[in-house]
């Protein structure tokens, strides 16, 4: 079974052949790969990989935290819907809502008059 060929091996084998076939044109052209890839030291590459892994872990933790908060908010809304309230409490809630809506309506009217 043949050993896998690395890109550096490929270049060292192919470059002389292309130079011979194309009268040295291959030698004259700039490296195409240098604009796309850059060589990094092993330590830099490893540090980048570790930073990317840390960012991924943080993103997953944030996603879990948001899902947990959303579930808690839903449970709270459900408890609120099912809560047994006295008539007085219900009346106060309705009055508070009416007051809020009146305040909002008043603000809208003030904004309209200001234009």
Written in H, E and C, the secondary structure of the chain is CCCCCCHHHHHHHHHHHHHHHCCCHHHHCCCCHHHHCCCCCHHHHHHHHHHHHHHHHHHHHHHHHHHHHHHHHHHHHHHHHHCCCCHHHHHHHHHHHHHHHHHHHHHHHHHHHHC
- Tell whether the model's pLDDT for residue 63 goes beyond 90: yes
Q: What average pLDDT does range 27-46 have in this prediction? A: 65
- Tell whether the model's pLDDT for residue 33 goes beyond 60: no
* Residue 86 confidence (pLDDT): 77
Q: Are 103 and 95 in contact (CB under 8 A)?
A: no
**In percent, how much of the chain has pLDDT > 70?**
67
């Amino acid at each position: 079974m043949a050993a896998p060929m690395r890109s550096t091996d490929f270049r060292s084998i192919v470059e002389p052949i292309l130079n011979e076939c194309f009268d040295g044109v291959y030698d004259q052209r700039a490296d195409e790969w240098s604009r796309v890839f850059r060589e990094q030291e092993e330590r830099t590459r490893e540090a980048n990989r570790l930073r990317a892994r840390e960012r991924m872990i943080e993103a997953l933790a944030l996603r879990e935290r948001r899902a947990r908060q959303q579930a808690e908010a839903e449970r709270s809304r459900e408890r609120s819907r099912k809560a047994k309230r006295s008539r007085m409490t219900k009346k106060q809630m309705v009055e508070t809502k009416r007051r809020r809506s009146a305040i909002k309506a008043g603000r809208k009217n003030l904004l309209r008059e200001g234009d």
